[in-house]
Amino acid sequence: MRRISNPTVLCGCLVLALGCAGNTNVGPGSGGSNGTSGTTGSAGTTGVGGGAAGDQGSGGSSSTAGTTGGGGNVGTGTGGSAGTTGAGGRGGAVGGGGRGGNTSTAGTTGTAGTTGTGGSTQCTITATTTMSTKIPTVAIVTFTSSLSSMTSASIDFGLTTSYGMTAPVDLTQANYRTLLLGMKAAKMYHYRVNATSSAGTCQSQDYTITTGALLAGLMKPTVTPTTATGLYGGFLITGQYQGNPTTAYILDADGDYVWWFSIGGDVTGARMDYAGTHMWINSANVPSGTTRVHRVSMDGMTDEDLSSQFTGLNHQLTVLPDETVAFYAYNNTAGCDDIKERAPNGTVKTIVNSGTALGVSGGCHCNNVQYSAGDNTLVFSDLDHVMVAKVSRTDGSTVWTLNDTASSKNLTGATWAGGEHGLHLIDMTHILIFNNNSTAGMTSKAIEVQLDPANKKAMQTWSYDGMIANMIMGDVQRLPNGNTIVAYSTKGALHEVSSNMTKLQTWTWAAGQTIGYIEKRASLYGPPPK
Amino acid sequence: MKIRSVLSAAVVSLPLLAAACSSSGGAQPMMCYGANPVASEVNDYTFMSTFALPPVTVKSMANLTFDWGSLTMDFLKHPLSATADVNTVTVLIFGPGVPLSSLAPKLNSDSLSATDVYASPPPSIMPSGGQTTAMLYDFTLNGTAIPMAMFNSYFDPTVLTPDKYSFMVAAASGTTIGQGFRMLQTFQLDASSSNTMIKLTNDSTQLSYSANLHSLTITGVPGGTAALTLDWSAMVAAGAKNGLGATFKDGYVTNAIVGHYTETPAELEAKFLDLNLIAKPGEYYTAALTSSTMLDFSTLKDMSSGAPFPGIDSTGTWLLGLICGNCRNPAPWYMTILKPCMM
């Protein structure tokens, strides 16, 4: 079936002021007075297309003055003729002998042009859908279109014909192959394709698909309250550390599973790449045992086991924009983990040994690494020494340390105890830290530290205590709307809190189900928010 | 007695669509559903259980000894070898908000959550070589040694006060922390106590239960064939109750069993904890599910021989159970009686 869009004039419209005619003069008299000129019509506003932006509306042209009424005939001169479009016509000229024409009515003010919508065009779009055989909530859409020279395309999809989610289409893909990501299990979804060229945008008919069943054992977390003002929404990417089945997974804002994939062991790290086409998944590997790292296409159809390139990796990894992967790996000789990178071509290099970077001796226990694009550095944490450090990617040199009592690189003024796990680099001068605070009777905290490297200072500026003691793992993320999510990983709990530390929502996993590091995204397409 | 909740019309109506069948020979009603029955509360059993966890008092901030050598049965009264079947011993600290007085009630209601476990992962030890005792200071966090000072800080009742925290040692089969518990022993800390021994005995955990198989409507399906399915998605969608009285949630059922018994339903109620042990030889079929809402009977295999499920016959009692493998309470979420019936 195909749908042909209705041809519609969608440019920014122009409404002209209409000048009223002067009335007919009757009999001899003086000429009518001049009518008032119509005012200039307002410009049309910029049009917003159905998909593409509409052309800017043309400005309303000045209303045309009414033409001068003809003079009344002498004696029985008739009135001036009506002004035409535009401002009111001037009154009829003085009639020779006849009664003057009446004053003509002023032209009305021109109305502003209405907002233009995108230009539409006619084409046929024929779409075909299959469900991934690996992940039954992922639909694979391909389509053909009669639209020539397509410049962009997208697919709207959702539980109703109001859709609500949009998948961008990569025009370089064969048959415009596109994944619909973010759908719940065992639900019927609607979708339609939008294709745009210089001629305009056309849409397909509405299609429906039904997603497959949820994988047995994936128990939805309890979300309390189910909704609240100020929540960020979006999707949560994490993995099941303990419990069965151990999968990387994505939950939507309702806490429903929309994506999952097993790599054959526990999952503590799950990160989508910047292109949004692959998920990097790893196992905890704590204590040192089996390294497990997979790169999985989002349709689940391609599963690359890259474990041999990540020997000794533990906890989590970080994906850089070019899909270089930063991680840390056990170094049994040095006692402290090596901070490493795996390039997209598979080569692996050591940036620096964490003990060297921290200036410490004895063992280390690195448990998080993040990428700082602003200065091309990596920031990592070490549980054993309760420290965080920033190192240069180019030469491994230490830029600064936090919570350090010995190093000259230390930024003084912000301290904490009891270890840490997840980090979030909010920007160049702010970092969020999940402080395990593992002391009997204490509870874990999320703390924000403001950094002042120029003056070697740091200051805690924000914290949140969810009254949960989480000794192992734990993660934090500042969201674009200012909220913060705090993951009590091995307690199977997650809080979303506002900037004023008000808990907005709690997610609680079933007993025995614990989670790994976390990341929230507004969309499952494109680069991550952090 | 557990009282079933009022069902939504969607769930109630499903059995009504099934053809009426002959009775099962007694008062117990039966409905014929064809080869693809839809699960509903009227076909489900009910189950209630109660744990009693009498504590022992031991010295606080001490290197406690745990001894499970006298165990011969687990809390289900199933045989247990202290040397062969105890593969993990775990010390669990619950709280804040879980004093000893609320620990058993939370277990009984299956409402104990991960956030209730204060030290997570909990200290554990994996016995080897016939080991039946272990010292507290030898326990580790997933293999990582724990400093004695840290142990003492957590086993200090002035820090983890008994009005907020409680302690338990669990002997488990298997090496997955938090699963496979066979016996539980609670303990409380007292600085004035000189006792440092915690023995796990057959009575450390006392479980009482009641199962009702006689009030359910028997599920009639075609006999002699494994070309059957059972779909419980309607119960999930309607928020129906499972056999334990809790909401039937999506994703929780992970396993299915079908067993053939010589016993009557009333006799099976009395032996409910032994269903996996008393099934007719070669006729206890299990399946690990992939779909969270449907069982394909052709995936069932006999647990001992691996023989495929051949379908049911008219002899004895056939039970079908749906199990939440991740739940603390091992009782099936859904259990019904199957009988041959042609529509």
A96 within 8 A of A71, measured Cβ to Cβ: yes
Task: Note the pLDDT tens digit of each residue in B157-206.
Answer: 999 999 999 999 999 999 988 788 999 999 999 999 999 999 999 999 99
Confidence (pLDDT) at B327: 82
| Closest CA of chain A from B240, distance in Å | 16
Q: What are the chain B neighbours of A515 within 8 Å (beta carbons)?
A: none
Select from B110, B115, B161, B232 the residue whose CB has the most chain A CBs within 10 Å, as the one to mutate to test that interface.
Answer: B115
Per-residue pLDDT, A470: 93
Mean local confidence (pLDDT), B81-95:
96
Going by the DSSP 8-state scheme, the letter that residue B18 receives in this structure is S
By Cβ distance, the residue of B119, B251, B293 closest to A219 is B251
User: Which chain B residues are Cβ-neighbours of A492 within 8 angstroms?
Assistant: 113-115
Contacts with A488 from chain B: Cβ below 8 Å: 115
Residues of chain A in contact with residue B121, where contact means CB-CB under 8 angstroms, are 242, 471-472, 490
Tens of pLDDT along B65-86? 999 999 999 999 999 999 999 9
Q: Are B228 and B33 in contact (CB under 8 A)?
A: no
Burial class (CB in 10 A: 0-12, 13-18, 19+), A480: exposed
Each residue's pLDDT tens digit, A251-307 = 999 999 999 999 999 999 999 999 999 999 999 999 899 999 999 999 999 999 999
Give pLDDT, residue A362: 85
Distance to chain B for A124, nearest Cα, Å: 38
Q: How far is B252 from chain A (nearest CA, A)?
A: 5
Which pLDDT score, from 0 to 100, does residue A520 have? Answer: 97
Q: What is the pLDDT of residues A94-131, one digit of tens each?
A: 333 334 334 444 444 445 444 445 567 889 999 999 99
The two beta strands, B218-221 and B334-340, are parallel
> CA Rg, chain A, in Å?
33
The pLDDT value recorded for residue B45 is: 98
Query: Which residue is closest to A287 within chain B, CA to CA?
Result: B143
Do residues A102 and A42 touch, judged by C-beta distance below 8 A? no
Number of Cβ pairs < 8 A linking chain A and chain B: 118
pLDDT confidence tier of residue B26, bands split at 50, 70 and 90: low
Cα–Cα dist B120/A20, whole Å: 84
DSSP secondary structure letters along A494-520: EEEE-TT--EEEEEEPPTT-EE---EE
Q: Hey, are the CB atoms on B251 and A286 less than 8 Å from each other? A: no
Backbone angles phi, psi at B220, to 5 degrees: -90, 125
Residue A145, strand partner residues: A125
Tell me how close the Cα of A250 comes to any Cα of chain B, in angstroms.
Answer: 15
Cβ-defined contact of A491 to B117 (cutoff 8 Å): yes
* Chain B interface mutation, best of A242, A251, A257, highest count of B Cβ atoms under 10 Å: A242
Minimal CA separation from A5 to chain B, in Å: 38
| pLDDT value of residue A530 | 63
Mean pLDDT over residues B242-259, rounded?
94
Q: Element (H or E) spanning A364, and its range?
A: none
pLDDT surpasses 50 at A202? yes
Name the minimum distance, in Å, from the CA of A258 to any CA of chain B.
13
Over residues B211-245, the pLDDT tens digits come to 999 999 999 999 999 999 999 999 999 999 999 99
Q: Does B290 touch chain A (CB under 8 A)?
A: yes
Interchain proximity A491–B289, CB inside 8 Å = no
Two tokens at A93?
A: 């000229």
Q: Give the mutation candidate from A222, A465, A491, A507 for the B interface (greatest B CB count, under 10 A).
A: A491
Determine the pLDDT at residue B23: 41
pTM of the full structure: 0.79
pLDDT one-digit tens code per residue, B120-135: 789 999 999 999 999 9
Closest Cβ opposite residue B115 in set A186, A243, A492: A492
- How far is the alpha carbon of A491 from chain B, nearest alpha carbon, in Å? 5
Q: Decide: A221 and A491 in contact? Cβ < 8 Å.
A: no
CA neighbours within 13 Å on the CB side: how many for A332?
A: 5
Above pLDDT 70, what percent of chain A? Answer: 77
Task: List the single residue in B with minimal CA-CA distance to A490.
Answer: B120
- Nearest CA to B32 out of B41, B22, B46, B44 is that of B22
Residues 155-184 of B with CB under 8 A from A: 156, 159-160, 176-179
- B3-23 confidence digits (pLDDT tens): 222 222 222 222 333 333 444
B59 compared with B24, residue with greater pLDDT: B59
Residues B283 and B302 sit within 8 Å (Cβ to Cβ):
yes
